[in-house]
C-alpha cells in the first residue's frame, strides 16, 4: 500500500483558514452562516453541506477546507475513514466547481496533478470496496473510458429521467432525508451544461448519475409511498430510471 502524503499545518495556519472561510461567507451573505462553526472539522462539514453561495466562493472554501483536514489528521482525534470520506467529497466538490488539479495539489501538499488523480481514483476504489492500489486505479481508468462511451449514448435519457423524477418530489419525498437527497439531485442537474460538447458535461453528468443511484437506493430502502402504487406512469418512470442507473453503474464498474 502506498504511503499517504500529508501536509503539516500549524495551528496559526489552521486559524487563518477558518477565518478565511467565515469571512468569505459573510462577505457573500451566506444565508446559512449562523450554522457555521470555528471548529476545523465541523467547518469542513459545513462547507460540504451549505452551498447556497456562488461557485467562486465554494472553490476557495474547498481549498481552505482541504488544508483544515490536513491539520485534523495530525492534531484532532478522528477516525481516518471519516477524514478520507470528507476529503473525497471536498475534492469532488472542488472539481465540480472548477478547481484545477494543480490547485487541489497545492491545498493537499501534493507535488503533481497526477498525484491528485491517483488520490481521487484511490478514494473511488475504496468507496466501491476495492483496495487502495495502483491496480485499482488502472481498473478505474478503464471503467472511466467505458463510462464515457455509455454516457454519449444514454446521457440524454438519463437527464430526462432525472428531470422528470425531480418533478415528482412531493409524491416521493415523504421522508426529510429523501427530500434532502432530491435537493442534492436537483443541484447536480442544474450544473450539467446544456451542450454535451462542453468540456464540463461528462464530469457533471457522472456526478449526477452517482447522486441518482444514491437516491434510488434510499427510495428502495423505505416503504413505497402510496403515490407510486396509485400512479402507473410514476412506477414506469422509476423502473426506467433504475434500469438506466443500473446500466450506468455496470458501465462504470472496474474490471473484476
The length of the chain, given as a count of residues = 256
Dist CA 119 CA 122 (whole Å): 5
More confident residue, 106 or 4: 106
Helix (H) or strand (E) segment spanning residue 8: none
More confident residue, 11 or 172: 11
User: pTM for this structure?
Assistant: 0.53
Predicted local confidence at residue 2, as pLDDT:
47
Predicted local confidence at residue 199, as pLDDT:
73
Q: How many helices (H) and strands (E) would you count in the chain?
A: 12, 0
Q: Averaging pLDDT over each range in 128-132, 201-205, 225-229, which range is the top one?
A: 201-205
Mean pLDDT of 223-243: 78
Dist CA 137 CA 123 (whole Å): 10
For residues 154 and 162, the answer to whether their CB atoms sit within 8 Å is no
Q: What confidence tier does 212 reach under pLDDT thresholds 50, 70, 90?
A: confident
Helix (H) or strand (E) segment spanning residue 171: helix 169-172
Q: Averaging pLDDT over each range in 50-59, 122-131, 205-214, which range is the top one?
A: 50-59
Dist CA 56 CA 147 (whole Å): 29
Amino acid at each position: 500500500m502506498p504511503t499517504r502524503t500529508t501536509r503539516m499545518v500549524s495551528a496559526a495556519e489552521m486559524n487563518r483558514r477558518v477565518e478565511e472561510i467565515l469571512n468569505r461567507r459573510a462577505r457573500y451573505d451566506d444565508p446559512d452562516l449562523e450554522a457555521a462553526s470555528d471548529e476545523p472539522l465541523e467547518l469542513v462539514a459545513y462547507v460540504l453541506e451549505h452551498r447556497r453561495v456562488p461557485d467562486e466562493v465554494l472553490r476557495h472554501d474547498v481549498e481552505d477546507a482541504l488544508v483544515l483536514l490536513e491539520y485534523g489528521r495530525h492534531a484532532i482525534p478522528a477516525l481516518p475513514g471519516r477524514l478520507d470520506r470528507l476529503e473525497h467529497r471536498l475534492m469532488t466538490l472542488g472539481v465540480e466547481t472548477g478547481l484545477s488539479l494543480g490547485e487541489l495539489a497545492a491545498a493537499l501538499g501534493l507535488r503533481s496533478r497526477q498525484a491528485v488523480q491517483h488520490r481521487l481514483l484511490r478514494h473511488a476504489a475504496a468507496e466501491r470496496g476495492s483496495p487502495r492500489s495502483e491496480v485499482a486505479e488502472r481498473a478505474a481508468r478503464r471503467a472511466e473510458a467505458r463510462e464515457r462511451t455509455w454516457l454519449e449514448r444514454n446521457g440524454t435519457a438519463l437527464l430526462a429521467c432525472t428531470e422528470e423524477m425531480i418533478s415528482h418530489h412531493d409524491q416521493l419525498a415523504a421522508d426529510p432525508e429523501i427530500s434532502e437527497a432530491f435537493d442534492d439531485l436537483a443541484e447536480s442537474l442544474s450544473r450539467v451544461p446544456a451542450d454535451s460538447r462542453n468540456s464540463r458535461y461528462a464530469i457533471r453528468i457522472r456526478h449526477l448519475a452517482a447522486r441518482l443511484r444514491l437516491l434510488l437506493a434510499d427510495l428502495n430502502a423505505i416503504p413505497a409511498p402510496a403515490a407510486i402504487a396509485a400512479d402507473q406512469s410514476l412506477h414506469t418512470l422509476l423502473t426506467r430510471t433504475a434500469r438506466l442507473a443500473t446500466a450506468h453503474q455496470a458501465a462504470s464498474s472496474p474490471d473484476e
